Amino acid sequence: MEKYEVNVKRWLSSPKVDSPTKAIIEKMSAKEREDAFYKDIEFGTAGMRGIMGPGTNRFNIHTLRKANIGFAKYLLANFKDARERGVVIAHDNREGADTFQNLCAEILNDFGIKVYVFDSLRPTPELSFAVRYLNTVGGIMITASHNPKEYNGYKIYDEFGAQLVPEKIAPLIDIINKLGDELNVSYEKMTPRGELILLDDKVDEEYVKLVLNISLNKELDKSNFRIVFTPQHGASYANAMRVFKTLGYDIYPVLSQCSPDPNFSGTITPNPEDPRAYVDAIKLAKEVNANLIVTTDPDGDRCGLGFLNKKGEYTLLTGNQSAVMLLDYILKMRKEKGLLSNDGVVYNTIVTSPFGNDIAKSYGMKVEPFLTGFKFIGEQIHRHEVNGGPHFEFGYEESYGCLIKDFVRDKDATQAIVMYAEMALYYHLQGLDLDDVYLSLEQKFGFHEDEVYSMNFVGLEGEVKLKNLLKNLRDNPIDYLFDSEVIRLEDYALSIAREGDKVYPLTLPKSDVFRLFLENGDIVAIRPSGTEPKCKFYVMAFAKDGSVKGRAKLLYDALLEKLNLK
């Protein structure tokens, strides 16, 4: 009997599984059962995330319960004052969010741990802030970020407001793995139980106050500058609208996408990386002749942009494009105002465009790249804070996430909203659109075309195919791609880089990521997604002149041929 069949039988025979859930399992096809039960749901780059439904490989009350019991034990083992300091929990608009939050709170209370909860949905960055503001030993965010409506997830935060990095997750996973199967995990309830505290609006007020203070040019003339905003039915609506109105912007929300709807009925997709997320926003922008479109994802940590160009058309920006312009704007304004540190650092990731590196260095900044996942940036901010520098100036990823001020230790779309709007307005008052700004940066630092492609590898069969792909890449290294020689190969699973016959160590944590460096300056990265059954291909094409256009797709097609995926 296959493993998934054993798990199915276990669930169908267990009194812990209710009748409606068993009925769903019985109606599943063999393929659906295999995908739902062939393995345990895993922790990825952003905690535990998966499709909601019955199964060991699904997000449900049983898999969440096991993980959260493990987290309670982890906290008590690592913090003598865990019960007194407590944990803060928040959720976004996802289906079952209240149920999952209440389950987490109940378990922690059973272990004698104090729990703080909000009265309704809140964005992820505010949860990160609340951990720090309330001085708790950790935080929990119930969210699946930008994933489709079928998903939900469980992000865990440390006592400094950052998501747990691998060295902290490893002992937690060890605890979870020793608990037994997800249906039969038991624990002894402690006396007295932990206190459950409903937060008032003080946390909101303090968070928004700090967000407002990041503005560098509050007094810019905002007349004749209109912004369309959509939270994609998510958690950032209240904070974003409060910030926009306080700063005096002429704001037009996409009303059909403002309610916290778990079905995302007013949008094609809630993912700012997908152009379909902007359809209704562009329609409204045309009606009101808006200068800027801003969208956040459901849990309010990612921010996407569109703008009105000189041709009267709306152009969407990639996460790389918007971030490098914002990086330049922030460093330029801080330098002009004497606010730029002499010992500053900018953080990004190994799959982010190298464009921003040159910009940061032109302002005298250090640049430190990390693996994908803002938790690594959050951890490094704390490490440098403790050690006295370098001073954090900006952090960003290609996936539409950035952080301007470190009172939050995760990417923060509300902070991004403030600065993206200010940046666009600043250039608008000079008669420049964001196309002009981006072109001027390319003319100074070189031309970049950065694209992210993805390929699905669903279920057990897909997982095997993906493992074989990575094995093949490792066993048969690519030495030539399209029209250029590969001069360096980085294999983060083996922690080595190869340049010809020479081998160098890599110091970042182990991860199934490859980077290919081409002789002409192009870079290609290959990385399995940490939250979805897919592999991502990051293509970063470079040219000193403008001949780079279209090159990313040519490189991607050549890569697929090399990997026998075409």
Active site residues: 145
Tokens 């096991």 map to which residue? 66
> Could you say which DSSP state residue 32 is in?
H
Beta bridge mates, 154: 48, 142
Output DSSP code: residue 41: -
What are the φ and ψ backbone dihedral angles of 15, each rounded to 5 degrees? Answer: -70, -10
Angle at 392 (CA atoms; ends 390, 398), nearest 5 degrees: 125
Whole-number Å distance between alpha carbons of 93 and 270: 11
Q: What is the DSSP string of 355-374?
A: HHHHHHHHTT-EEEEE-SSH
Kindly provide the b/e burial profile for residues 274-289, where b requires at least 16 CB atoms within 10 angstroms of the residue's own CB.
eeebbebbbebbeeee
> Which two tokens mark 454?
């993805």
Q: Which of 129, 460, 413 is nearest to 294 (CA)?
A: 413
Whole-angstrom distance, CA of residue 562 vs CA of residue 550? 19
CB burial readout 69-96, b (16+ within 10 A) else e: bbbbbbbbeebeebbebbbbbbbbbbbb
Instruction: Find all residues with CB under 8 Å of 191, minimum gap 6, and list them.
Output: 112
- Across the beta sheet with 196-198, the strand order is 43-44, 47-51, 151-157, 138-142, 87-91, 115-117, 196-198
Phi, psi for 22 (deg, rounded to 5): -60, -35
Cα–Cα dist 160/135, whole Å:
8
Residue pair 349/430 in contact (Cβ under 8 Å)? The answer is: no
Question: Would you say 413 and 303 are in contact if contact means Cβ atoms under 8 Å apart?
Answer: yes
Whether 162 and 148 have beta carbons less than 8 Å apart is answered as no
Phi (first) and psi of residue 268, to 5 degrees: -70, -40
Q: How far apart are CA 529 and CA 45, in angstroms?
A: 8
User: Is 48:154 a contact under the CB 8 Å cutoff?
Assistant: yes
Q: DSSP of 160-216, one letter per residue? A: TSSBPPHHHHHHHHHHHHTT--TTS---PPPSSPPPEEE--THHHHHHHHHHHTT-S
